């Protein structure tokens, strides 16, 4: 193998410098709002109202945790954080599990109307969410599911299933056919193949889908307002944050602390699973 001289390496680095600079600039611009939110959440009320967050780096530094203490103790953010977690985790696991079963059946099981049913499910992706709220709310009222965690779990599962089935079917459908043929020859059932072969090999797609579903449910306000209302005992963080600013416009300085608390867990989830994100989002887009 031919060794490259230091001059050649330097030229390659310089040729890529504009690209690296652009990527670094995009990262800084993407992080800037989050940094500003964090800094503002640690500033006293009078400084937030009179100066920009960038002035916080001038001496003498004036940082405080009063905003966080207020939203956790008095604005019910502690309880709302637990409610959001109680909503988001089952509402992420349930559609992924159902979609994985459905994607396997659409990919490797033969039954009448399979393609038509799959196209029908994909077609549901274009149905606006707002069109379904009132009919589903009437059904939930009849079965007394409004204002309950069970109701919101079912709603988020139903709304997330079409995209979940579409994404996982693209990935599972591209798995090697020889793998399934060998398993059937060895006497494996569909359940054996699904749990021992399909699920382990579909981790990238499942992880990327988990990121999408979890962040959508965690940041949802509309569905939570419709099916849970404003009851503090079951209200997620999005509903609580929307209620922090009262009708007279007071209390908006606490929004920075509340918003940063709400974005902490999604950031942890994203960076924990980000190594699967690109592989999963490209699932089924290329063959071979």
How far is CA 258 from its chain centroid? 19
pLDDT in tens, 79-88: 899 999 999 9
Of 4-8, 37-41, 191-195, the one with minimum mean pLDDT is 4-8
pLDDT value, residue 278: 64
Mean pLDDT of 61-73: 87
Say whether pLDDT at 11 is over 70.
no
Q: How confident is the model at residue 283 (pLDDT cuts 50, 70, 90)?
A: low
Give the model confidence (pLDDT) of 104-152 as tens digits.
999 988 889 888 999 999 898 888 888 999 999 999 999 999 999 999 9
Cβ(117)–Cβ(102) under 8 Å? no
CA–CA dist 45, 65 (Å, integer): 11
pLDDT of residue 212: 87
How many alpha carbons fall within 13 Å on the CB side of residue 217?
32
pLDDT tens digits, residue range 189-234?
Answer: 888 999 988 998 888 889 888 888 999 999 999 999 999 987 778 9
Instruction: Work out the pLDDT band at 287, boundaries 50, 70, 90.
Output: very low
* Confidence grade of residue 24 (pLDDT, cut at 50, 70, 90): confident
* Cα torsion 195, 196, 198, 202: sign: positive
Ordered by where they begin, the domains of the chain are: 6-64 (no CATH), 68-281 (1.10.3720.10)
Average per-residue pLDDT for the chain: 85
Res 67: pLDDT? 87
Helix, strand or coil, per DSSP, at residue 187 = coil
Residue 78 pLDDT greater than 50, yes or no: yes
pLDDT reading at 165 higher than 90: yes
pLDDT of residue 7: 60
């Amino acid at each position: 193998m031919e060794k490259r001289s230091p001059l050649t390496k330097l030229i390659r680095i310089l040729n890529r410098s504009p690209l690296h600079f652009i990527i670094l600039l995009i990262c800084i611009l993407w992080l800037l709002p989050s940094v500003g939110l964090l800094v503002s959440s640690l500033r006293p009320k009078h400084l937030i109202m009179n100066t920009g967050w960038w002035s916080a780096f001038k001496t003498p530094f004036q940082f405080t945790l009063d905003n966080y203490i207020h939203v956790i103790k008095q604005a019910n953010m502690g309880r709302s954080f637990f409610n959001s977690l109680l909503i988001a985790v089952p509402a992420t696991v349930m559609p992924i599990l159902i979609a994985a079963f459905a994607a396997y059946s659409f990919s490797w099981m033969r039954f009448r109307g399979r393609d038509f049913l799959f196209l029908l499910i994909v077609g549901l992706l274009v149905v606006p969410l707002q069109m379904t709220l009132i009919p589903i709310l009437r059904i939930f009222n009849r079965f007394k599911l409004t204002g309950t965690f069970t109701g919101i779990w079912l709603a988020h599962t139903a709304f997330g299933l079409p995209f979940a089935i579409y994404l996982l079917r693209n990935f599972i459908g591209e798995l090697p056919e020889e793998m399934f043929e060998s398993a059937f020859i060895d006497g494996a059932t569909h359940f054996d193949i699904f749990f021992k072969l399909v699920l382990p090999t579909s981790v990238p797609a499942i992880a990327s889908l988990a990121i999408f579903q979890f962040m959508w449910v965690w940041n949802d306000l509309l569905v939570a307002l419709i099916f849970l209302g404003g009851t503090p005992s079951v209200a997620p963080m999005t509903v609580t944050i929307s209620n922090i600013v009262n009708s007279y416009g007071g209390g908006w300085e606490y929004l920075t602390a509340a918003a940063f608390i709400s974005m902490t867990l999604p950031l942890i989830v994203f960076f924990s699973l980000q190594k699967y994100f690109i592989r999963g989002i490209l699932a089924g887009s290329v063959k071979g």
